[in-house]
């Protein structure tokens, strides 16, 4: 019989600072009014377009987001800066991203009843890494005292599920017994705080999961991974062109197209049906239907997307208990959203209950795990 692989621990770490919609809108609108005043003549003669104002009511209605966590609040709301102020650390100090990764990893290891010596590999999987090399995962590995190996992966919104997918395969192939997957989503440096359409979308967080062989799992809450499923379909509708080529391209490495930008409405329309179909097919592989599933830990980009996907799957609205929403508090945390939902809403499930953990977004990428509580 093939080896049974389980998720035995999950950790969620959030920064101490928050920004409410009202604070964010107040800062943006002050910046926009000042821009419009300074460029009044060019706006009047048509050379420039006036910056439109943002609204907290719009943000909550269009996305469900009420606030977000931020790693360093200083600078992000300052209209003369409009980006967080995070001092660079010297090369002998633990990097910012490794620090938040370690914080989430420790929580996941504690929940899984595991220590560093039990772990064979570390995968850091997220939307951005703060440097190209050495891998953040190797820094985390050293900080936690883990033998074996580590590597980084970038899969935008699906980095967490795709990372768990890799861990599953590494254990299934016998190359590892226990793998730590960490998603340090330090996304605030990539937010364009001067763009009304996207300034509200993201928040910082770090999540981690422990995957291991069922034989070694001793945690209180253990979830059998029935299988993993991944799908990608190329689209530029969610994009960041930030990268090392800017230097050779002779372009501004921080121009608007180098930060997060998207065609939000198109994404909404195209990704919802893809995600619903993907989940349905994944469940069918196990002769399950959406009606058999007790919990939906879905990607957390927009509450209206999750409502629509659940309606397509269930033919009715899912209750808050069935499909927990965390984006009101955390906003879109790139790949970490479905893992936060899992981390905060899994302990009440009963043995034999089914859950689906699913991400969807940039790439496009969709990743899912069908889980069954042991």
Footprint on this chain of ligand COA (rule: CB under 6 A): 54-55, 58-59, 62-63, 157, 196-197, 200, 238, 262, 264-265, 267-268, 301-302, 305, 332, 361-362
Pairing of strands 365-373, 354-361: antiparallel
In the bound complex, what is the minimum distance in angstroms from residue 194's beta carbon to ligand COA? Answer: 12
According to DSSP, the β-strands at 67-70 and 261-262 are unpaired
Q: Decide the pairing of beta strands 295-298 and 365-373.
A: unpaired
Minimum CB separation from ligand COA for residue 308, in Å?
11
Active site residues: 157
Give the shortest CB-302-to-ligand COA separation in angstroms. Answer: 4
Q: 211 vs 357, which CB is nearer to ligand COA?
A: 357
Kindly calculate the radius of gyration of the chain based on its CA atoms and give it in whole angstroms.
21
* Closest to ligand COA by CB, 191 or 219: 191
> Closer CB to ligand COA, residue 155 or residue 293?
155
Residue nearest to ligand COA (CB): 264
E strand or H helix at 351: none
Task: Sheet with 295-298: list strands edge to edge.
Answer: 149-154, 121-126, 178-185, 205-213, 5-13, 223-232, 365-373, 354-361, 295-298
Residue 8 Cβ vs ligand COA, minimum distance, rounded to whole Å? 28
> CA dihedral in degrees (166, 158, 335, 308; nearest 10)?
-140
Which CB sits closer to ligand COA, 238 or 326? 238
- Pairing mode of beta strands 178-185, 149-154: unpaired
C-alpha span between 236 and 16 (Å, rounded):
33
For the bound state, the minimum distance from the C-beta of residue 259 to ligand COA, rounded and expressed in Å, comes to 13
Using the minimum distance from each CB to ligand COA, give the nearer residue, 172 or 274: 274
Cβ distance to ligand COA smaller for residue 192 or 262: 262
Contact 227, 278 (CB under 8 A): no
In this structure, the strands spanning 295-298 and 261-262 are unpaired
d(CA 112, CA 353): 19
Nearest CA to 10 among 219, 177, 294, 152?
219
**CA quadruple 12, 15, 21, 25: dihedral, nearest 10:** -140
Distance CA 288, CA 305 (A): 23
- What is the number of alpha carbons within 13 Å of residue 249 lying toward its C-beta? 12
Spatial CA neighbour of 186 closest among 255, 260, 265, 245: 260
Nearer to ligand COA, 141 or 365 (CB): 365
| Cβ distance to ligand COA smaller for residue 278 or 373 | 278
Residue 261, token pair as written in the block: 């930008």
Cα 24 from Cα 82, distance rounded (Å): 10
Minimum CB–partner distance for residue 35 and ligand COA (Å) = 15
CB of 146 to ligand COA, least distance (A): 30
Shortest gap between Cβ of 271 and ligand COA (angstroms)? 6
CA contacts within 13 A on the Cβ side of 137? 24
């Amino acid at each position: 019989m093939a080896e049974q692989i389980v998720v035995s621990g999950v950790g969620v770490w959030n920064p101490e600072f928050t920004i409410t919609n009202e604070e964010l809108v107040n800062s943006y609108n002050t910046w926009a009014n000042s821009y419009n005043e300074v460029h009044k003549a060019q706006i009047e003669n048509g050379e420039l377009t006036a910056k439109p104002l943002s609204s907290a009511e719009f943000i909550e209605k269009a996305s469900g987001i009420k606030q977000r966590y931020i790693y360093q609040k200083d600078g992000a709301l300052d209209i003369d800066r409009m980006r967080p102020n995070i001092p660079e650390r010297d090369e002998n100090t633990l990097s910012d991203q490794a620090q938040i990764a370690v914080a989430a990893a420790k929580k996941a290891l504690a929940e899984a009843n595991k220590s560093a010596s039990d772990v064979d590999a570390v995968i850091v999987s997220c939307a951005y890494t703060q440097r190209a090399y050495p891998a953040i995962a190797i820094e985390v590995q050293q900080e936690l005292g883990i033998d074996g190996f580590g590597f980084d992966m970038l899969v935008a919104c699906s980095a967490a599920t795709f990372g768990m997918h890799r861990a599953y395969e590494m254990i299934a192939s016998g190359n590892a017994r226990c793998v730590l997957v960490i998603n340090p989503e330090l996304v605030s440096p990539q937010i364009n705080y001067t763009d009304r359409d996207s300034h509200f979308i993201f928040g910082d967080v770090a999540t981690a999961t422990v995957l291991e062989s069922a034989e070694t799992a001793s945690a209180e809450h253990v979830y059998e991974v029935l299988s993993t499923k991944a799908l990608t379909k190329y689209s530029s509708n969610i994009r960041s062109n930030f990268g090392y080529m800017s230097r050779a391209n002779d372009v501004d490495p921080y121009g608007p197209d180098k930060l997060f930008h998207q065609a939000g409405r198109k994404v909404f329309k195209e990704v919802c049906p893809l995600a619903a179909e993907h989940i349905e097919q994944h469940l069918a592989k196990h002769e399950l239907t959406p009606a058999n599933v007790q919990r939906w830990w879905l990607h957390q980009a927009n509450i209206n997307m999750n409502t629509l996907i659940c309606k397509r799957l269930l033919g009715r609205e899912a209750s808050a208990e069935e499909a927990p929403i965390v984006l009101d508090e955390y906003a879109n945390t790139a790949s970490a959203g479905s893992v936060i939902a899992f981390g905060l809403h899994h302990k009440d499930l009963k043995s034999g209950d089914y859950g689906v953990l699913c991400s969807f977004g940039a790439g496009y990428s969709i990743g899912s795990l069908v889980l069954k509580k042991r």
